[in-house]
Structure 1
Amino acid sequence: MRLYCLSDDPNVPCFILTVNGRSILLDFPLPIDHLLDYLPIPSPGCLNRFSSLPKYKLLSFNKENNLPQQINELRLLHNQIYVYSPIEFYTLDSNQYDFSLIDIILISNYETFLALPYLFKKYKNLNAQIYLTEPTYRFGQQLMYEIVAYVEQQSKMIQTNNEWKYDSNIFDAIEEQQKDKKLKLFSYAQKLMPCYSIEYVDKCLSHAKVIHFNEQIDLYSSIRASAISSGYCLGSCNWQLDINVNHNQTSKIETSSSQSNLTRFIYMSSSTTLETYSTKFNYDSFINCDYLLLSNLCPLSTIDASINGPELTKKIENILNDHGSVLIPCSSTGLIFEMFEFLTNYFEQINLLNIHMYFISPISNANLSISNAMSEWVTEQRQIASFSGTPPFKHNELIKTKCLITIPSDRLDDTETLINFEQPSIIVTGDVTLR
């Protein structure tokens, strides 16, 4: 058994486990930290205030070194360089490993497989089976669609030339000129790729097999896998692998066989024991664990919800009372479901009525619908309520009362949308480049 770590960021988990001649890919997330180096691109029909920002000028420009006098794709704002172009991404696959040899892909949650379409685009012969839970599949699919929609939208707004990314002399000149203010993105610039298309999203998902918590899956005759709840979000899981260490061509894991030949390997990623809306963290499998791989851990001691929660709501209350509006950048799935309920309950407590919440995203309607069809994956209390006909989340009720209004991001310039937009309000949007 051998383990390869493909990521240098502990919060962006990606591993390859080779065991008994098989290669198993554990998660394949899409790094997005470099996106903060990009300027936000307004939706079609909206005023683009960033197009007039000054282009970056190279002071070392001269005819002999063939460097451009200015770079259209790099803009200055408050003496900081930003990239003015449709967002691009890099992936964690390495030329040191042939990913076409991957046999199995195990996905922990919908945040950790958004880069998979790139693999199926790059490696034409990749035929790996992907195992994941239903919420991970459904929400992951929507998040991929959202990324594609945003990039297509941006491409309609601006046309750029990406040749600057491949000239190392430009980077050297900028670094010399900027001293310690260079972009982190420069470290990845030559690895950046245009966003994948819907075609490769669908090709990737055609290899997916949806499973339930604690369902035992025979990956091969000597490897059995189970997804166990991690409590992090809807459908998120840790992976338990029971491996027959005395593997040969005829050996097979049998339920009634002796456990002495089995090695238990657990991959733990994005987990929490805190009370959330999703199924609780499952401890049982860790009792007889032989190998434990930990990744994507969060130091909870640095986060005090009892302080941050009231502080946030108090600031929101002050802004709304001053007839202002609040903009909240947030992922289009996950925490956002609880946020709507939390804010609604808070407004009722302080008697702040008739406050509208706008959810702006290409997948706003789809994600709200999917979440209310996920009764199997929520807490026991929400499950019991759903059996009596109450949806696990309050989205439908909020939409009926016009407290929550969904708007696709490509309709922001729609006349009807603008006329009906009321303030003060809460605006939640999932654009990954929004500050």
Structure 2
Amino acid sequence: MKVYCLSGHASAPCSVVQHRQITVMLDCSLSMVPALHFLPVPVVTSERLSTCRNWNNQFMKSKVIKDINGIPFIDSMPEFRLPEMGFLDLLNLDAILISNFYCMLALPYITERCEFHGKIYATEPTLQMGKLLMEELVFYNERVSKSNSINEWKQPDIIRFLPSPLNQFGDIAAWKSIYTIKEVEACLSKVQAVRHLEKLDLFGAFNVTALSSGFCLGSSNWILESPYEKISYLSCSSIFSTHPMPLDQEALKKSDIVILTGLSQVPYANPDQLVTELCNNLAFTLKNGGNVLIPSYPTGIIYDLLECLCTFMDQSGLGNIPIYFISPVADSSLAFSNIYGEWLCNTKQDKVYLPEPPFIHADLVKTKRLQHFPNLQDGFGDVFSQPCVVFAGHPCLRIGDAVHFMEMWRNDEKSSVIFIEPDFPYEDALAPFQPLSMKAFYCPIDHRLNFNQVNKLLQDIKPQRLVLPESYVRPYDAFGRRIEHYVNASVPTHPYNKGDVLALPLKRQYEKVVISNELASQLHLSEVNNSTLIASVRGSLHVCDNKHTLEVNDSKNIVEDHNDYLCGKIAVDELLSRLSKLGMSNISSERTVAGYSIFMNSENAEDAHIMLEDDCTHVITHGNEDLRRRIRDCIVDCLTHL
């Protein structure tokens, strides 16, 4: 079995498993970190951003590279990093398994720009929420007229002259702009929706099953299982009590190999404490007359936060403060979260059967406590009032409506921006907006498994082998300082980095063969003992999609072999009785480590010795061939003839 690592970031997983002539991709995440090196793209033209000075040095002068406080930014639409696919032929890819909607954003690049003809599996909520995330990215990209045509900075002979850190990225020439809405629609039409615990046949090699991972709506871990091996993919899982179905841990047990990825990016932080800190920072800002901007994705943790914040604001006397949710997919996101009741935790499901909306944001929208808008133009200006709380994208602060609010409030020392998504370092996200008067708080709410939790989980499920990113097993950092948080498993561990190919010792000794009904009807069974019947089988072996079938062979060229087949276990007492009738005398037997030893004398006083072992029998007659054949016949008579 081989595992290919295509991603350099453990929280944006993409790997490929190759086993038994089947090739399966596990997730296809899109790394958005490169977007931080681009200039923000505001909806309304910003004089400050449009008049940034060009970056000039002794090696090059560029109108595309801008200088803000000594930091270079690319004046173009943001681009993103795809999984590494140069050493893998996607034409041979049989299937793609998607674990959650955050880990599928690179899918259109694979299905629409590569020769991919395999199958794609994801749960229904993952499919629909992933579509919303893709549509939001496309909308942010297409509504602004900034061109990507100036790509001089990506030419190989110029990259080395770019200012740091741009000249340090080895894959900068492979960064890609976002796909189109047509590519999104064509891509998602190829995805087959599945349910948790539904078994899917993957070309006869594996039964593939999705399990609840507890991370977000519809999120899954995957099991690839055959009668002889079991591979588990453990990605982006959580044991915290949020809105999704809880983690299905039991089904992960007895795995030959567990592929682990997607652990918390802030393992030292407690999500509940960070939510409390978020609420306190929000209340502090609002009570001082300031506004709060929360850059966020349009789905995921935002559903839980809306409930927590509204309850807290009511208790703090801030119930009259409006909450705005601005995204081109805000309406669809809120609607989908309420219609997927069967994918929610038990507490939320109980509300569905009352019937009540599982989330309180349905009531918040009705009372206009929460107001959502697709953009800043369609009615938002008519109701906008301050102070307020605004949820807006994108968390990287390079595209989306969050850029407009950053420009509007950056000089307001009463206002605050609170970062809740752990995907982007907040100092880098804020860099093009410096100097900044508004307050910035970092409350990265990441309820995925931390290292302590995953160590305990691994002790419970007891895999035979563990495959995981190399960064998860480092007990020391680059400076030799001991790291408290890392995976410490008591099983053989196989760490990997981007571009690595691991060869794992998962070899099958047997294949399952099905006998056709016609051939089975021709078998002649012989009884070995009271509980076992056996028969010799002759047929033609047919193999298709890893399924082996033994059928009647109609070929007339087969030469029939009428030799007897012997089977069974030699009964020592019966053998001693037959030897005695043969005329052997002074027969004695003794138990040995390997089986039995039998000593005897023939009528001619010649010694003989028989050694019976589990897998062989030795007859020693000191050159007397006639005696050896007579003893052999006695042994054969003790066996079953087929």
Q: Answer whether TM exceeds 0.5 for this pair.
A: yes
Given the superposition, is the C-alpha separation of residues 365 and 128 from structure 1 closer, same or farther in structure 2, using an over 3 Å criterion?
same
**Which residue in 1 is equivalent to 2:154?**
166
Looking at structure 2, the residues matched to 296 and 396 of structure 1 have their Cα atoms a distance apart, in angstroms, of 31
Looking at structure 2, the residues matched to 433 and 309 of structure 1 have their Cα atoms a distance apart, in angstroms, of 20
Offset from partner CA, 1:73-129 (integer Å, 9 cap, x none): 211111111122111223114221111211111000001111010112222x42111
**Which residue in 1 is equivalent to 2:102?**
111
Size of the alignment, in residue pairs? 398
Offset from partner CA, 1:213-259 (integer Å, 9 cap, x none): 1111111223101100110101101001112xxxxxxxxxxxxxxxx
Is residue 215 of structure 2 the alignment partner of residue 232 of structure 1?
A: yes
> What secondary structure, in the 3-state scheme, does the structure 2 residue paired with 1:302 have?
coil
> What secondary structure, in the 3-state scheme, does the structure 1 residue paired with 2:117 have?
coil
For residues 92-111 of structure 1, what are the structure 2 equivalents within 5 Å? Answer: 92-111=83-102
For residues 243-322 of structure 1, what are the structure 2 equivalents within 5 Å? Answer: 243=226, 261-298=227-264, 301-322=267-288
Q: How far is 1:130 from its partner?
A: 0.6
**Which residue in 1 is equivalent to 2:29?**
29
CA contact (8 A) 2:34 2:81 kept: no
Looking at structure 1, the residues matched to 99 and 380 of structure 2 have their Cα atoms a distance apart, in angstroms, of 38
Looking at structure 1, the residues matched to 30 and 267 of structure 2 have their Cα atoms a distance apart, in angstroms, of 27
CA contact (8 A) 2:22 2:205 kept: no
- Within the candidate set 108, 123, 130, 2:120 is matched to 130
Is residue 129 of structure 2 the alignment partner of residue 139 of structure 1?
A: yes
The higher-RCO structure (CA 8 Å, 6+ apart) is 1
- Within the candidate set 373, 377, 384, 2:339 is matched to 373
> What secondary structure, in the 3-state scheme, does the structure 1 residue paired with 2:160 have?
helix
> What secondary structure, in the 3-state scheme, does the structure 2 residue paired with 1:173 have?
coil
**Which residue in 1 is equivalent to 2:407?**
none
Given the superposition, is the C-alpha separation of residues 353 and 193 from structure 1 closer, same or farther in structure 2, using an over 3 Å criterion?
same
Given the superposition, is the C-alpha separation of residues 297 and 370 from structure 1 closer, same or farther in structure 2, using an over 3 Å criterion?
same
TM-score when normalising by structure 1: 0.87
Q: How far is 1:432 from its partner?
A: 4.3
CA contact (8 A) 2:160 2:167 kept: no
Looking at structure 1, the residues matched to 366 and 58 of structure 2 have their Cα atoms a distance apart, in angstroms, of 58
Looking at structure 2, the residues matched to 223 and 48 of structure 1 have their Cα atoms a distance apart, in angstroms, of 58
- Within the candidate set 56, 63, 88, 2:79 is matched to 88
Is residue 182 of structure 2 the alignment partner of residue 183 of structure 1?
A: no
Looking at structure 1, the residues matched to 337 and 270 of structure 2 have their Cα atoms a distance apart, in angstroms, of 27
Is residue 7 of structure 2 the alignment partner of residue 7 of structure 1?
A: yes
Looking at structure 1, the residues matched to 187 and 272 of structure 2 have their Cα atoms a distance apart, in angstroms, of 41
Which letter does structure 1 place at the counterpart of 2:327? S
Structure with larger Rg: 2
What 5-or-longer segments of structure 1 have no aligned partner? 62-68, 176-180, 244-260
Q: How far is 1:270 from its partner?
A: 0.3
CA contact (8 A) 2:120 2:190 kept: yes
**Which residue in 2 is equivalent to 1:252?**
none
**Which residue in 2 is equivalent to 1:254?**
none
Looking at structure 1, the residues matched to 221 and 272 of structure 2 have their Cα atoms a distance apart, in angstroms, of 28
Looking at structure 2, the residues matched to 148 and 208 of structure 1 have their Cα atoms a distance apart, in angstroms, of 19
CA RMSD of aligned residues (A): 1.8
**Which residue in 2 is equivalent to 1:256?**
none
What 5-or-longer segments of structure 2 have no aligned partner? 398-428, 430-642
Looking at structure 2, the residues matched to 201 and 60 of structure 1 have their Cα atoms a distance apart, in angstroms, of 41
Q: How far is 1:160 from its partner?
A: 4.9
> What secondary structure, in the 3-state scheme, does the structure 2 residue paired with 1:49 have?
helix
Q: How far is 1:186 from its partner?
A: 4.2
Is residue 182 of structure 2 the alignment partner of residue 199 of structure 1?
A: yes
Looking at structure 2, the residues matched to 92 and 354 of structure 1 have their Cα atoms a distance apart, in angstroms, of 46
Looking at structure 2, the residues matched to 34 and 212 of structure 1 have their Cα atoms a distance apart, in angstroms, of 34
**Which residue in 1 is equivalent to 2:450?**
none
Q: How far is 1:301 from its partner?
A: 4.4
Which letter does structure 2 place at the counterpart of 1:31? S
Offset from partner CA, 1:145-196 (integer Å, 9 cap, x none): 1111111123x2x235433233334333334xxxxx4237844321122221
Given the superposition, is the C-alpha separation of residues 106 and 185 from structure 1 closer, same or farther in structure 2, using an over 3 Å criterion?
farther
CA contact (8 A) 1:40 1:433 kept: no
> What secondary structure, in the 3-state scheme, does the structure 1 residue paired with 2:49 have?
coil
Looking at structure 1, the residues matched to 169 and 266 of structure 2 have their Cα atoms a distance apart, in angstroms, of 32
CA contact (8 A) 1:139 1:367 kept: yes
**Which residue in 2 is equivalent to 1:393?**
359
Is residue 398 of structure 2 the alignment partner of residue 430 of structure 1?
A: no
Q: How far is 1:308 from its partner?
A: 2.5
Q: How far is 1:387 from its partner?
A: 0.8
